[in-house]
Amino acid sequence: MFEKGNIYIRKELHDTYGGNRQGGISNCANFPFIFVFTGKAGKSHGYEDGWSDDGYFYYTGEGQHGDMTFTKGNKALLEHEENEKTLYLFENLLKGKWKFIDQLRLVDYFIFNTPDTTGAQRKGIKFKFISVSDSPATMNGSLLKPENINIPNKTERTGLITSRVGQGYFRKQLIDKWDNKCAVTSCSISKILIASHIVPWKEATDHERLDVDNGILLSPTLDALFDKHLISFDDDGSIIIAPTLSNEEILILGIKKTMKIKVSKGMKKYLQRHRSKIN
């Protein structure tokens, strides 16, 4: 599509593919592309982008005044996999001229404190991306690298590339969907809740792995039972208990036959696949 290291005229990119001609995030309405633009000028507005030593690219979301929110361009970045949009990173060299760096994928995001364009402190959004090729074009080195960020080591990063890129993102999406509560018991101790895939990671497509409909937020015991296909849920949300569990075991585990979850339309196809393996 684009050649790494090549120079492109931004006006020509928009003339060909559309998208916002101003700002750092350009979502092309008629093409499955999102252009991400980075450069030194953003620092005056509280933006600080750059590569970490382990190869992640950290990118500050859009919004010059007040707290950043997951709307417009920020929402497009957050949901790019779900919407099957490809991210392309460009670095500013001269006025109107941009170097193509690489195709990116979202790994995670976090909220941090940063000044807005007036200098007032506000909540910002920092996106964490990974290079699809793992060998992006060299940037000019003038961008500052993010500091005080917990970054996985090289071995952990390799694992993310090959298997679980996006798990932090997936968990955050489930926490939002289930209002930070276990889908069954309403337990709200967030640090023990588990973002459980309905169709397991190893059996899912790239899209299904990050599809929020392919997940349930569960307490540890329920997650273990769900993972081993000892419980499942019907399309109306009613719990299904494996016949291999005795009444005594069900009592000890605290499972009630009246337990129920709220099932969205998108979850039904995943639950059907999960139920087919109940023991």
* pLDDT tens readout for residues 188-242: 998 899 988 999 888 888 778 878 899 999 999 999 999 999 999 999 999 999 9
Structural element, H or E, at residue 206: helix 206-210
* Residue 160 vs residue 31, higher pLDDT: 31
Choice between 96 and 87, residue whose per-residue pLDDT is larger:
87
Task: Report yes or no: 124 and 105 within 8 Å, Cβ to Cβ.
Answer: no
pLDDT at 248: 94
- Looking at residue 162, its pLDDT comes to 39
Measure CA 94 to chain center.
32
**Between 268 and 113, residue with greater pLDDT:** 268
CATH topology of domain 7-164: PUA domain-like (2.30.280)
144 band by pLDDT with thresholds 50, 70 and 90: very low
What's the pLDDT score for residue 255? 94
pLDDT(182) > 90: yes
CA atoms within 13 A on the CB side of 127: 26
pLDDT given for residue 85 in this prediction = 92
8-22, 198-212, 247-261: which range is least confident on average? 198-212
Ranges of each domain in the chain: 7-164, 168-275
| Per-residue confidence band for 41, with pLDDT thresholds at 50, 70 and 90 | low
Q: What is the pLDDT of residue 245?
A: 94
How high is the pLDDT of residue 42?
A: 58
pLDDT at 44 over 70: no
Count the helix, strand and coil residues of the chain and give each as a percent rounded to the nearest 5: 30, 25, 45
Q: What is the mean pLDDT of the chain?
A: 85
Residues near 272 by Cβ (< 8 Å), separated by ≥ 6?
A: 235
Exposure class string for 242-261: b at 16+ Cβ within 10 A, else e: beebeeeebeebebeeebeb
Read off the tokens for 261.
Answer: 């979850």
Query: In this prediction, what percent of the chain has a pLDDT beyond 70?
Result: 86
Contact between 53 and 105 under an 8 Å Cβ cutoff? The reply is no
Report the distance separating Cα 117 and Cα 76, nearest Å.
Answer: 22
pTM of the model: 0.55
